[in-house]
Structure 1
Amino acid sequence: MFSITIILFLLLILSVIAYSLLRKKQIIGDPPNRLAGCLFIFLLFFSLCFAIAVQCILLYIVVLGVNFLFEDYITYESFFSLISFSLFASVIAVFWSPFLLFIGKGLAYLLKLPSWLTYALEWVSSWIVLYLSINYILHINLVNVSIGDYGILILSFFVSFIFIEIDLVYSRMKQRKQSLNTQKSS
């Protein structure tokens, strides 16, 4: 519980820093009052918490699925240790994902890659981030979770595959909605 409180406090500090940088770079204007500024900080905080919670829950479900399908590749002491493992791995992955996403999108734009290759590059970068974050959490022995021989590869593969599929479905729905809007306006 102490680690969750520290993570929430760090996310709140990160939200304040992000708000300060956005104001300093004049990406957002002056708020009408202090309440609006505080609400925007809490919106950033909630967005970060939501991104971490979605990945944490997905990682937890995939761990249970991998254990069901492959017969106890992942062993854990208690429910709390598995939740802590998912939370720490998600925090590290969410922290490093924007950097790799920026690099991947930049390379795709500069090299004029087709969309299928862009999605493959995004999948590989998300797989690398998840693999390294899970490996790091297991290496520092922060939680009582152990993963078998190829368990980290299997776990990171399934989670990154699910995320890229969610992204593909969302982008197709968005494209379909845009095409329907353009057909209605013509």
Structure 2
Amino acid sequence: MELQKEDILTRFLQFTEVDPKYLRDIILNFIIAGKDTTATTLSWFIYILCNHPLVQEKVAQEIKETMKTKKVMDISEFASSVSEEALEKMHYLHAALTETLRLYPAVPVDGKLCLSDDTLPDGFSVNKGDFVAYQPYAMGRMRFLWGDDAEDFIPERWLDENGFFRQESPFKFTAF
């Protein structure tokens, strides 16, 4: 039995009348958006690790224990051996990356254009044509959302009492 591909290009090609230029633009948009946001996040993550050696050591230790590696000789070989199952066990790495995104979101301000009159959840009315922006950068530093230590890098805030990653509400953590 052949597996069905579930990538975005395959899904678009399932439609019979797709303008090739439109399809090209959409795919390029996804590739560019994914490349830039990933590069930005990894840059901030490396910066954070350099400034927090204890976090760096915890991340490295978790990777070594999960991957059961003693010494890595070739990075390509190591990277190809990382499985989705192994990544799911790396709770501290997930917490450290998420904490990086909380403080340094890949998209710090996100604007939207209102296509019709609407009312926001807090009761504020917006009209067709209004531009509304929310700011993940500012939200990640709000003390009333994250506590008095909101500006501090603390990956443990994402872990439960057993050390498992705990996701926050998407209305509180808007980076993704």
The TM tier, using the shorter chain, reads 0.3 to 0.5
TM score, norm. by length of structure 1: 0.32
TM score, norm. by length of structure 2: 0.33
Q: Which has more helix, going by share of residues? A: 1
Higher RCO (C-alpha under 8 Å, 6+ residues apart)? 1
| Larger Rg computed on CA atoms | 2
